[in-house]
Each structure stands twice: as C-alpha cells, then as structure tokens.
Amino acid sequence: MDAGIIAALISSAAGVAVSVGASLWTHRQGVELERVRYELERSARDSEKRSTAKAELDRYREPLLVAAFDLGARIHNIRKAKFLAYLKSTERRSQLAVRGTLFCVARYFGTLEILYSRLALLRFESADDTRLVAALLADIGGAFNSDVYDRVDTFHSSRFMVWREEQRAIGELMRGPDGTAHECVGFAYFDQHYDELFARWFDAFAAALVSPAAAASERLSRVQTLLALLVTQLDEEGAYTLTVDGQRVAPDWVTPDGLA
C-alpha cells in the first residue's frame, strides 16, 4: 500500500481515537458535573428542610417546654411530694387537685397537637437538629399508650393508659371550639367544659389518679423521666435547668433523686 495512503489512514484513525476519547472525557465530565450539581441541590434542600423543621420547633419551643415542665413537676409532686393528700381536703380543693392534674396532661397533648399541625412529621423526625426532640415526644406518647405498665392483672387493667387516639382527641379539644387555634385553652375553659367535652377521654385516667397506688405508678415514673430529658433538650436558655460553678442546679424532679 502506498506510504501516503497508510499515513493518511493512520492520521484518520488517530483523529477518530482522539475524537472518541474527547467525547468520552466530555461525557464523563458532564456526568460528574451533573452528580455534583445534584449533590449540591440535595444538600440545599436538606438544609432548607432542617431549617424549616428547626424554625417550627423554635416557634413552639417555649409552649412545649412549659407544658412538659409543668406536667413533669406535677407528676413529681404526685410521686414524691404527697400532692394527692389534697384528695382528702375540701371537696373543691380535692376536685381542683384532680382537674389541675388532668389539665397538665391535656395541655401537653394540646401543645403537641399544635406543633404537629404546623410541620411535616417526617421532616421533623429526620432533620438532624430536631430528631432527638421528635424521638422523645414519640417515646412519651408510647409510654402513655403502652399496656405494659401498672397492670392489676391482665393488660385490660393497665392504669393511666392513654391511647394515641385519645391523646390526639384531647389535643384537638385543647385547641378550642373549632379545634384550629394555635394556642391551648386555659384552665378556666377546661374546667368549665370538662364534663361536656373532656370527661369521656379522662374518666379512666382520673379514676387511677385518685387510687392509693397512683404515687407508685410505673407509667408516671417513666413519663417523668422522659419529660426530664425533653425539658433538658428544649431548655436552650437554661431557664429550667441551670448550671452554677460547674454544678447542675435544677428543680427536684429533673435531678436523679427526683426521678428515682
């Protein structure tokens, strides 16, 4: 074959190889750039989701913190401070002791219902900066819901049990007559409408509350421990759990002795 033709063929083949190589390199670069762009977009979306979940939690942090703290403090008083001695006081004081305790439970469920209505639950449970709070809220709900605590005999006899449907119902009622308010009703409304609206959801809980075994409740002990963890997690300003000279100074029910 003529040397010129051979040279031309070699040159042509080399050109094709270079062209194919350049095409492959460009394709790989394009794929890599697309992957990088996708990762950046996903990171931005995830960051936005975390910011949204954290923003909604921050919006209701104070009401949730107060509701959790007050419920934990009331449970502590029942378990450790002989609060139920008021049941033997005057009729009004006895009723107030029970209703006030039920209101603490109801306000916690109500605040939770408001929080859940404002955010995407899956996002709340998966975002790094809200995951722990979400897990604690779920565990508290599970502690109320479970039938393994405080059994007299079978699971049917489990005291202080509030199923998740009951938790939601109580929470909805605490949002006012139309069930859409962004803050819970006060104690006066709760007390005034108790027989009409709340009694059917609280009858069994109220009966357990006035029993002699209430102070030794395993469920209340578990709920109190979880509430202490929740308060500690929510209390970013240190208003409820303070540290002085390296020593933790907190209300009795948040300390190990108070939880024991």
Domain coordinates in residue numbering, the chain:
1-59, 60-259
What pLDDT does 39 receive?
Answer: 60
Amino acid at position 199, single letter: A
Name the residue with higher pLDDT: 162 or 13.
Answer: 162
Name the residue with higher pLDDT: 52 or 96.
Answer: 96
Q: Residue 127 pLDDT > 90, yes or no?
A: no
What pLDDT does 111 receive?
Answer: 96
Most confident range, picked from 1-10, 98-107, 246-255: 98-107
Residue 98 makes CB contacts below 8 A (sequence gap 6+) with: 87, 206, 209, 210
pLDDT class of 161 with cuts at 50, 70, 90:
very high
Q: Residue 18 pLDDT > 60, yes or no?
A: no
Most confident range, picked from 33-37, 80-84, 216-220: 216-220
pLDDT class of 98 with cuts at 50, 70, 90:
very high
Q: 81 and 256 in contact (C-beta within 8 Å)?
A: no
What pLDDT does 59 receive?
Answer: 83
Q: What is the Cα Rg of the chain in Å?
A: 30
